[in-house]
């Protein structure tokens, strides 16, 4: 059994209206970090952030959700305060799914819900397909849960990702961390994420940078920027989607990811139809890609109502969670 480690540090900042505790667990290459809200016996909800973000992505949303639920928001490896993957390793979706599996094993959660934003929603989709018996409900924030790639691009991506990784490894001895002033770090973050409000950028920077002599450096691993070498085509995505047994809600922002990220022709309609066939709830909402962080009040009640609309009776799984959860 993977041990769960709780070095709990209560803190409050001007960006949060509700105290969180620091989550820490050891992994073979270091540790995974994150934040925890709510009582240890509360309904378990795992929160998965998007690419290049961190668990701070949920700092404004979780205070608006039920206070008697147990929220664990992790920093994926290479993000926030979590350790980077070992030298020479790739960042791929299957490995992120394995990270989630490690976390829920450490928490000893038998059944739980997931709120996933962007990349975190895609990890949630894949995890829920692989482990349908573990997930009760899934909220996908501005993502379809599966993003298919054209077959002709899959192997181009693989070759580029391998070449990029080898080039990065070969240059490692010459690479130096760039030091920024806080203002310049914030400016860089907002250029890369135009949808972030000024306050949201400050929230993410709490875990996205650390202070060093002369300024700040970003905590994230540069390798998360390299081309992902593991992609899935449409038939694979549709098959995985068919394996999902959880109740699913998609919240798609009209000024969000799919305003700029275009799927191959017809793919969006096909995925939406497949989710509809699975009886998923799909809501198109006003907002941007980081709506849950920038304007959490616009989605908090929707998420709460969805997760509360079907609560199993006092099941054995809930009893097991209450008895065994370590965080």
Numbers of helices and strands, H then E, in the chain: 11, 10
pLDDT at 325: 45
Helix intervals (H) in 54-107: 93-107
pLDDT of 218: 98
Place of tokens 């070498």: 229
Helix ranges (H only) for 32-134 are 93-107, 119-130
The reported pLDDT for the residue numbered 311 is 58
CB-based contact 85:224 (threshold 8 Å) = no
Contact 278, 250 (CB under 8 A): no
CA angle (61 as vertex; 118, 144 as ends), nearest 5 = 20
Q: How many residues does the chain have?
A: 327
Query: Is-contact 196 117, C-beta < 8 A?
Result: no
Pairing relationship of beta strands 69-74 and 43-48 according to DSSP bridges = parallel
Q: Which two tokens stand for residue 136?
A: 């009760």
Low pLDDT (below 70) residues in the chain:
1-17, 310-327
**Predicted pLDDT at 265:** 84
Q: Which parts of the chain fold into alpha helices (H)?
A: 93-107, 119-130, 151-170, 182-192, 198-208, 234-243, 257-260, 267-277, 291-294, 300-308, 316-324
Q: What is the pLDDT of residue 261?
A: 85
How confident is the model at residue 17, as a pLDDT? 53
Cβ atoms within 10 A of the Cβ of 198, count? 9
pLDDT value of position 202: 98
CA contacts within 13 A on the Cβ side of 97: 15
Domain boundary assignment for the chain: 21-148+233-324
For residue 314, the model assigns a pLDDT of 44
Give tens-digit pLDDT for 72-99. Answer: 999 999 999 999 999 999 999 999 999 9
The CATH architecture that domain 21-148+233-324 belongs to is 3-Layer(aba) Sandwich (3.40)
Cα 189–Cα 194–Cα 196 angle in degrees, nearest 5: 75
Six token digits for residue 264: 């191959």
In 9-108, the DSSP E strands lie at 21-27, 30-37, 43-48, 69-74
Which residues are identified as catalytic? 118
């Amino acid at each position: 059994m993977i041990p769960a480690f709780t070095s709990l540090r209560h803190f409050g900042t001007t960006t949060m209206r509700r105290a969180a505790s620091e989550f820490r667990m050891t992994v073979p290459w270091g540790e995974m970090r994150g934040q925890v809200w709510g009582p240890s016996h509360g309904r378990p909800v795992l929160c998965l952030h998007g690419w290049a973000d961190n668990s701070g992505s949920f700092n404004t949303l979780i205070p608006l959700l039920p206070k008697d639920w147990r929220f664990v928001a992790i920093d994926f490896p290479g993000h926030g305060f979590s350790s980077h993957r070992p030298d020479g390793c790739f960042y791929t979706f299957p490995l992120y799914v394995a990270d989630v599996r490690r976390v829920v094993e450490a928490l000893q959660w038998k059944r739980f819900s997931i709120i996933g934003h962007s990349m975190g929603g895609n990890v949630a989709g894949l995890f829920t397909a692989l482990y349908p018996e573990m997930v009760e409900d899934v909220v996908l924030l501005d993502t379809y849960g599966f993003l298919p790639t054209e077959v002709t691009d899959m192997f181009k991506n693989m070759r580029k990702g391998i070449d990029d990784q080898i080039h990065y490894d070969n240059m490692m001895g010459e690479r130096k961390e760039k030091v920024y002033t806080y203002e310049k770090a914030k400016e860089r973050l907002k250029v890369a994420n135009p949808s972030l409000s000024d306050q949201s950028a400050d929230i993410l920077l709490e875990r996205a940078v650390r202070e060093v002599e002369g300024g700040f450096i970003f905590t994230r691993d540069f390798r998360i920027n390299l081309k992902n070498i593991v992609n899935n085509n449409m038939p694979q995505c549709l098959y995985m989607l068919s394996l999902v047994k959880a109740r699913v809600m998609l919240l798609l922002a009209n000024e969000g990811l799919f305003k700029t990220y275009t799927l191959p022709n017809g793919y969006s309609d096909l995925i939406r139809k497949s989710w509809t066939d699975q009886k998923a709830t799909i809501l198109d909402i006003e907002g941007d890609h980081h709506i849950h962080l920038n304007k959490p009040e616009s989605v908090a009640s929707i998420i709460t109502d969805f997760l509360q609309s079907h609560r199993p009776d006092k099941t054995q799984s809930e009893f097991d969670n209450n008895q065994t959860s370590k965080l």
